[in-house]
Chain A
Amino acid sequence: MTQPPPAILVLEDGRVFHGAAYGAEGETFGEMVFNTGMTGYQETLTDPSYARQIVAMTAPHIGNTGVNDDDPESSRIHVAGYVVREPARVASSWRATGSLGSALRAQGVVGIAIPGTRALTRHLRDKGAMRAGIFSGDAARAAERDLLDRVLASPGMEGADLAAGVTTAEPYVVPAIGEKKYTVAAVDLGIKSMTPHRMAERGCEVHVLPATATADDILALRPDGVFFSNGPGDPAAADDQVAALRGVLDAGVPFFGICFGNQIFGRALGLGTYKLRFGHRGLNQPVQDRATGKVDVSAHNHGFAVDAPADGPFDTPYGRAEVSHVNLNDGCVEGLRLLDRPAFSVQYHPEAAAGPHDATGLFARFCEIMEGSD
């Protein structure tokens, strides 16, 4: 069989992994992270939150079911690079329209297949997420020292404002499925297509707005509720979005945020955010609702988290707030809510895609608070 050309993965601390090219040949840089999901590579690749990240899959076999037209979460692959162990040679699914390898090539995504994905994961777990570069084909011929220098010259994730690169250029509307009950203004910081779909299923007409939307832009739609999506980058850099959200909260419009939206909500409440050592990226994270004690197995993709007092309600400019959800693995804040106003957010992904549907009920809760505010 014909062997793919060699490729090399270089981490900023000098650790190097040799392997074979996968997807497009060339070079790419990004923040090196790992994802422990065992399904849903197509959704993961097209999740805009992965912008400028090189994603390593811990599940060894990737690409087995090929790619199809139903599963992408956005119009293109967003990861900066892709690291797998065993790329599939055939695509096997009645829904497949092509192979993952060719999809990566078609979109110019540089990837690498290495035996040591587990060693890489352990390294990132111990040392933290870090910058990395993948070099394949001609790009892999340079001396490792030079490759490392180039990785060290690439930008890091802290302070990165990336929403502008992934958000929609123009507003668009996702119509309600069935009877329209609510108008939702959804600020796209890197929104996944399943999110407006989950709202539309519950009777929301979703007006998706660019990341640059101001409070006035948002409120001009006279929405029943406002939603801030997930997205890439450092929440500390999202001052404009924090300002927009403050305007929404001042107006008393019900609010729901997911992931990046949760971090912006935290900042709007006056809380800080911080970078996790290696983040949560996977489909198996236990999140507990502190009010009910119920545990949801949930989909995660975040490298930053909100720093909030976990031991009880705290005061904010919008009244009392509390940490509503925590991650049982590491105690990380996974949800916030205002006690006196209709606003809440979660750090994880109730829309799933990929991932378990345990937390889908949060969309219903969003509808309830919109109902309550009439």
Chain B
Amino acid sequence: MPRRTDISSVLVIGSGPIVIGQAAEFDYSGTQACRVLRAEGLRVILVNSNPATIMTDPEMADATYVEPITPEVVEKIIAKERPDALLPTLGGQTALNTAIALFESGVLARYDVELIGADVDAIQAGENRERFKGVVAKVAREKGLNAESARSLICHTMDECLAAAAELGYPMVVRPSFTMGGAGSGFAHDETDLRRIAGSGLAASPTSEVLLEESILGWKEYELEVMRDRADNVVIICSIENLDPMGVHTGDSITVAPAMTLTDREYQNMRDVAIEVIREVGVDTGGCNIQFAIDPGSGRMIVIEMNPRVSRSSALASKATGFPIAKIAAKLAIGYTLDEIPNDITAETPASFEPSLDYVVVKVPRFAFEKFPGADGGLTTHMKSVGEAMAIGRNLTEALQKALRSLEQKGSAFSWAGEPGDVEALLESASRPHDGRLRDVQRALWAGATIEQVYAATSIDPWFLDQIAALNEIADDIRVSADALTRDKLLRAKRHGFSDAQIGEIRNLREDVVRELRHALDVRPVYLTVDTCAAEFAAQTPYLYSSYDEETEVPPGDRPKVIILGSGPNRIGQGVEFDYSCVHASFTLTEAGYETVMVNCNPETVSTDYDTSGRLYFEPLTLEDVLEVVHAEQQSGEVAGVIVQLGGQTPLGLAQKLKDAGVPVVGTSPESIHLAEERGAFGRVLHRAGLPAPKHGTATSYEEAREIAAEIGYPVLVRPSYVLGGRGMEIVYDDATLESYMEQQRQGDLLDHPVLVDRFLDEAIEIDVDALYDGTDLYLGGVMEHIEEAGIHSGDSACALPPITLGHDDVRRIREATVALAEGIGVRGLMNVQYALSAGVLYVLEANPRASRTVPFVSKATAVPLAKAAARVMLGTTIAELRAEGLLPATGDGGTLPLDAPIAVKEAVLPFDRFRTRDGAFVDTVLGPEMRSTGEVMGIDENFGTAYAKSQQAAYGSLPTKGRVFVSVANRDKRHMVFPVKRLADLGFEILATEGTAEVLHRNGVRAKIVRKHSAGTGPDGEPTIVRRVLDGDVDLIVNTPFGSPGQSGPRLDGYEIRTAAVLRGVPCVTTVQGLAAAVQGIEAVAGGQVGVRSLQEHAARLRGGA
């Protein structure tokens, strides 16, 4: 069946900001879909509030709406664009839920928009647990298959939950309906657990529905990726086995493809069930994933759930197999059948087949518990990881060890240093799933535990445990120091994934010494192709991975090659924004005639698509792995340069070592990078340029830090050098806190690099600048004014572009300072500078000679592709030439935007609702100098108020336009809060306040009702505290600025309770007075009337005159 001719325009809904459970994988899937649909000649209309994505690049769609993904806003876009069809299956749960809402409210019918990819009935049959159980039961009954659902009961109230518990018995699983990433689910071992978990689950579910089911904890867990076309051809793209058995969310599990411990009988039964389920559910065109659990003792198989859409697992499966699920799903949605779609990789065979793998793929999650002090590091059915790395090897051990080192976290790889530790303690620790459990398993086995003992403690399949045991045996073999490290010994270790660093650690040798020895013995990896077919057919796409195998498959090249180092697993502070820059570099350098070579290990990205770059190496971004890739590429042709500036801190950290190894690093030189990163050297740059910085010093001990603090005065900002995302950054007000901070750093082994101690500038405006420098000219990409004052990490604070309160003179000073810095450091390419404007003085906070997190935001807000321009500059093209070419505007830049330029507001999205302390309480939600946000959104409109309101709506849901506001602010903020609160009162809001705040308001003529503090408890006549009122849904907006030091009781703790309640109820919560002022402008804009929608292409026409 050829493509449908009755569809000529399609609306694609993206997934919005990166949050835990819904991340960059949907940028990958949405981007693929947009590219496919446009290539088919369809008009593509896209909505996604996340500016950091490739999919929201103006060239990916005909009309790109960076607008909040709410049914109301999408309806406006539909009314304006009148698409023929809506494709909701590639934008995660957000897109699916929005599409269902539009269907149910009749909007789709009214505008005659057809849902393609999956119809509402199929979506509901797949997602509604009761209906899905019916599907499974029917399939098992009618087809005679081994399949059932876990025994379970649906509950809508706590009473029903308690009744169900009596029937099912503890422990049991609590799952709310229609939430993503397993939000609100967990294991209840007793009634206290049940009340807590089911309580929040009932609140989190949009349908106030939770499911309680029998525990299948410890069972084997599997997943199949399934695709079906409208001729009813069904194929299984990939099987995935979780190394972590049932009980840990798949997103938090170590997973392996293909399944390792199933016989053909069990696998085919699972396959048959999957096929019958997708048919019965009615997903006609597209993909879905289905999860299974198997009782390791009896083989009883339970179908856990399905996602009737492209998911995180589909992204993983696509990268693991070379079968592009999202791309094929988009083609199926517009009418093609699988046999009509060619397999891109072989070019000669069709997509109606099932990939065969002759390698093993391992995915490992990356967590960020260190960002949330007090958060429980245990893993449950509630997803907590913020990113993942994938690795490919020719056996499990090679893939697993590559994946673990791809995480780039201290201690993420197995270590054989020192003694293994106490068997009992290790087994005890391994029995509770947590980040790093596999290292406990390895150490326990090393310490002498048997596979049976470890199995009893963990339920991890004995086959996997034996693989870990084999690694210990190899480590033992290397350790025998009487034996030389022979070629055979090294080769054997390398074939099981040991890094040079691991071998060096075992033999007490430096990593580079091991490497030299290895090279001398000619032990080097070869590169094999991910070809979908286990080498049965020749692959046309160079999608490569390393292995210590027989023969290399790197194709020869005739064009000069540029190697782009990606950013590795997503983490807080280094996410999809960096992938955006890498992908842009690849696109533009391909156009400029280079063969681009991407190196990355993050399966959730566009950069790891096999058709993004000329060649793709799915490899860890460690020095060893990168050096081998460079070597392999040099063997096959000329390498013009390696780009380290676009992938964030990961590649930047390799710059000097690569250069030392003779690798041609292009762009800003490693020496220049050092000038910006090393405090002393940077101070000299500033001094030469005559630029002030806040007083500062560096310390490696508490004594040194205290001396500096005494000299420059409290408060001080302390942080380790060489970090991204403000990791470990704090504002310190006294000696005692400083001492405990330094002690923490020492214990965390973090004093390799000194701690920076800076004077903290109170009441300053923070400014972020992204600029491009070629050695002669500076192109000021954008000047962003933070809405929160300095002290909040720039990644967590909202900002506006163009700056809303800075004058021409300020921008001129910023430009001059930026030129001086770029010149002083020796930047070639992008640079990001953070300034603070305090009492008329422009201080330089820091300068980073690399692409920053804000590059995609600036590019979209100003309609200039900054990352592309940067890549060209790094390879020698001048800014003047880029202006002449049209890549950059002929005149002017981001510092000279016209007065009628749209205002873009970036807002951060924070994951506080994901993290609990061990006793079940939320972690505090206050912003500070350590970055905690996982993603961002952009609001863009003609004025600041509307743009800000859109950003809030996109990030947190709409700002209220009426109702009750609760205000409680720190003393220092009281003066600034009067005017905006008065404005809210004028707009008709009822004002609630704590006593002190109410008093100030009263004196200023604002009537505020006094509410009891949390610490005061319920009043004598049962008057509720503010926390109770928030929990009861009585409050529509909270303004609460923190005061006091963390961890103390009193006002600080009161604030914590209030903000926690806000998170729980999803009430907007403003924690700075600057944020309050912005919120009031936003509320006024929304209350004032119609807020329209406008595409980036329309904005660009104004900004760049139709260019």
Contact = CB atoms under 8 A, between A and B. Distances in A.
A197 interface: no
Determine chain B's interface SS by DSSP, over half rule.
Answer: loop
A86 interface: yes
A92 B535 contact: no
A121 B535 contact: yes
Contact of A115 (B265, B350, B473, B550): B550
A94 B297 contact: yes
Interface string B248-271: 000000000011111111011001
A221 interface: no
B535 A354 contact: no
A325 to B, nearest CB: 13
Contact of A328 (B297, B350, B358): B350
B339 interface: yes
A257 B398 CA distance: 44
A36 B461 CA distance: 25
B843 to A, nearest CB: 57
B548 interface: yes
Interface in B257-293: 258-265, 267-268, 271-272
Given A92-B463, A118-B528, A65 B396 contact: no
A352 B271 CA distance: 13
B1043 to A, nearest CB: 58
B285 to A, nearest CB: 15
B265 A90 contact: no
B535 A122 contact: yes
Contacts, number: 170
A60 B360 contact: yes
Interface in B93-150: none
Contact of B268 (A88, A125, A284, A352): A352
Contact of B263 (A59, A68, A125): A68
A286 B353 contact: yes
B455 to A, nearest CB: 10
Nearest to B355: A284
Given A60-B394, A295-B233, A95 B299 contact: yes
Determine chain A's interface SS by DSSP, over half rule.
Answer: loop
B235 interface: yes
A294 B231 contact: yes
Size class of the A contact interface (CB-based, 8 Å): 35 or more
B354 interface: yes
Contact of B394 (A94, A118, A293, A357): A118
Nearest to A292: B231
B536 interface: yes
A116 B549 contact: yes
Contacts of B350: 286, 328-329
B534 interface: yes
B656 interface: no
B267 A94 contact: no
A297 B354 contact: yes
A64 interface: yes
Interface in A1-45: 1, 17, 34, 36-40, 42-43
B550 A94 contact: no
Given A1-B473, A125-B536, A92 B462 contact: yes
B747 interface: no
A40 B263 contact: yes
Interface in B343-396: 348-350, 352-360, 394-396
B881 interface: no
Contacts of A316: none
Given A89-B470, A93-B261, A121 B356 contact: no
B356 A58 contact: yes
Contact of A118 (B263, B360, B549): B549
A282 interface: yes
Given A71-B265, A90-B466, A354-B264, A284 B395 contact: no
A311 interface: no
Contacts of A95: 263, 299
B66 interface: no
Interface in A283-302: 283-286, 288, 293-295, 297
B533 interface: yes
Contacts of B357: 38, 59
Nearest to B346: A329
Contacts of B348: 329
A94 B220 CA distance: 12
A50 B664 CA distance: 53
A101 B338 CA distance: 40
Given A282-B356, A284-B355, A89 B262 contact: no
A61 B396 contact: yes
B263 A42 contact: yes
A111 B859 CA distance: 59
Given A40-B263, A65-B261, A121-B535, 9 more contacts: A58-B358, A61-B360, A86-B395, A90-B462, A94-B299, A282-B536, A328-B339, A328-B353, A329-B350
30 contacts: A36-B356, A36-B533, A36-B534, A39-B263, A58-B358, A58-B534, A59-B258, A60-B360, A61-B396, A64-B463, A65-B261, A71-B263, A71-B264, A71-B265, A85-B394, A89-B470, A92-B462, A92-B463, A92-B466, A116-B551, A119-B551, A121-B534, A284-B354, A286-B353, A294-B232, A295-B338, A297-B352, A297-B354, A329-B353, A356-B354
